[in-house]
Amino acid sequence: MEPAVSLAVCALLFLLWVRVKGLEFVLIHQRWVFVCLFLLPLSLIFDIYYYVRAWVVFRLSSAPRLHGQRVRDIQKQVREWKEQGSKTFMCTGRPGWLTVSLRVGKYKKTHKNIMINLMDILEVDTKKQIVRVEPLVTMGQVTALLTSIGWTLPVLPELDDLTVGGLIMGTGIESSSHKYGLFQHICTAYELVLADGSFVRCTPSENSDLFYAVPWSCGTLGFLVAAEIRIIPAKKYIKLRFEPVRGLEAICDKFTRESQRPENHFVEGLLYSLDEAVIMTGVMTDEAEPSKLNNIGSYYKPWFFKHVENYLKANKGGLEYIPLRHYYHRHTRSIFWELQDIIPFGNNPIFRYLFGWMVPPKISLLKLTQGETLRKLYEQHHVVQDMLVPMKCLSQAVHTFHNDIHVYPIWLCPFILPSQPGLVHPKGDEAELYVDIGAYGEPRVKHFEARSCMRQLEKFVRSVHGFQMLYADCYMSREEFWEMFDGSLYHRLREQLGCQDAFPEVYDKICKAARH
């Protein structure tokens, strides 16, 4: 009870302080106080509610019975929009602040909002090795259920609150992607409601053009109402090796070699400076050496990226056994390393032991409470970007990131990109090894100006036939955007399915030059 009493007293003092200083001053200059006293407890309540709800729904098997009616309700809303004259574009009615993307979608205020209340796991078929889910199911829900019955997704993106719909309509990646590709590549079927209110199911062999066009389309071809995703048998632990590497050439060589080794189930790199990194490789196992077991996901444990950095400082490698679910969500507690800018002392042992059980605050609540002034400050002085470039260009890409934005740590995650139709594919006719370069934090380059620096980075990515993840701020012109992405199939289907009057083009939905 003592932490709860202390928190209540601090909250009272905080309210008195806000009354004196004003809310906007506190939210901008002392945000950690607001986050610790209000957003952390509120985030915990949200998590408990959604966990209990998901457990009850799955145990009662009510989701499959209700799913058909919910889909018919979406169809009804779309048909009513058509009957009313199709005066504006449509979009999902989910509030913009609920998305994990830091971008604020102002189109929600002007478009027809179609309410989509689809947030349940519908079926787990272990014989076919398929899980069927609704689009608002989160990665936290998926891991909680699947790992409890001995299964997992081949690609399970990191943060708990990422949704299946967001990972399909946008994209998703994890340290197993060098074997399985992006999240879209483990999906076997999509179910959508189209612009005319009709229902369609698409697979690689049925309505295949639509199946390949949906990923990265950001909801501009139809409303996703269900997806079928491959599952594989899970094991209890990840046997994870840590190896510090110095010198950019050695880093790139080591990372490339490990990404090409089929025996590695997981490969990941954390770059702490231009020439210092830790490369991690892991395999699933049911056996663990007790002395090397590390429950890294426990609330009192150090943040993962700080734990990894200790290997670099000690200049020696290591071996640990990490419980599977802890590994999947190893960056969740610190939101990679973003939380250190919000709660500077968040990795302090005292804070972890007293309040770590409430961490992290939900990204959606951080967005909801940031205010316009803070949002503009973040936009101009903060970078959250994932750029996907061919592995052969890794050294050149790291130099470009260093010179243009100078943000560390940098996340390195390899993935295989199959040669398939759609918005994103390799330049040639064969699959190619790519790497996701993730930069999250405050740029330390002199005279950083968001628009010019990011346009320079985008230009480099286009020049090497790379791609920018669309959750992030995008500064390209329309011509530059379609130089990066292959729009041939996408545009043909938009015309064929009557999307041009129903949904905005993906560029108009996500790029800064097009948004109002």
3-state SS of 32-47?
A: HHHHHHHHHHHHHHHH
pLDDT value for 107: 76
Beta strands at 199-202 and 187-193: parallel, antiparallel or unpaired? antiparallel
Task: Say if residues 175 and 153 touch (Cβ distance below 8 Å).
Answer: no
| Residues contacting 127, CB < 8 A, separation 6+ | none
Model confidence pLDDT, tens digit, residues 4-27: 556 566 666 655 655 555 555 555
pLDDT tens profile 431-447: 999 999 999 999 998 88
Give the tens place of pLDDT for each residue, 379-399. Answer: 778 899 999 999 999 999 999
Query: CA angle, 420 as apex, 418 and 422 as ends, to 5°?
Result: 125
User: Which residue stretches of 61-163 are H helix?
Assistant: 62-83, 139-148
CB 363 within 8 A of CB 14: no
Q: How far is CA 80 from CA 90, 107, 112, 193, 503, in A?
A: 12, 20, 11, 14, 15
**Could you tell me which residues are beta bridge partners of residue 451?**
none
Residue pair 226/266 in contact (Cβ under 8 Å)? The answer is: no
Does the CA dihedral 241-245-251-253 come out positive or negative?
negative
462 Rama class: left (phi>0) / alpha (psi -120 to 50) / beta: alpha
> What type of residue sits at position 491?
H
Residue 419 reports pLDDT greater than 80 = yes
pLDDT grade, residue 428 (50/70/90)? confident
239-252 mean pLDDT: 98
DSSP state of 357: G
What DSSP character marks residue 348? S
Query: Would you place residue 102 in the very low, low, confident or very high pLDDT band (cuts 50, 70, 90)?
Result: low
**Over the stretch 304-342, which tens digit does the pLDDT of each residue have?**
999 999 999 999 999 999 999 999 999 999 999 999 988
Q: How far is CA 460 from the centre of its chain?
A: 23
Percent of the chain with pLDDT over 70: 90
Over 60: is that where the pLDDT of 298 sits?
yes
Mean pLDDT of 252-269: 97
Looking at residue 61, what is its pLDDT? Answer: 65
Six-digit token string for 473: 């701020």
Alpha-carbon span 391 to 255, nearest angstrom: 9
H-state helical runs in 170-266: 177-180, 208-213, 248-260
Query: Taking the complete model, does pTM exceed 0.85, yes or no?
Result: yes
Q: Which of 116, 254, 81 is nearest to 191 (CA)?
A: 116
Which pLDDT score is estimated for 380? 79
> What b-and-e string marks burial along 14-51, b requiring 16 or more CB atoms within 10 Å of the CB?
beeebeeeeeeebbeeebebbbbbbbbbbbeeebeebe
Angle, CA of 35, 37 and 43, to the nearest 5°: 65
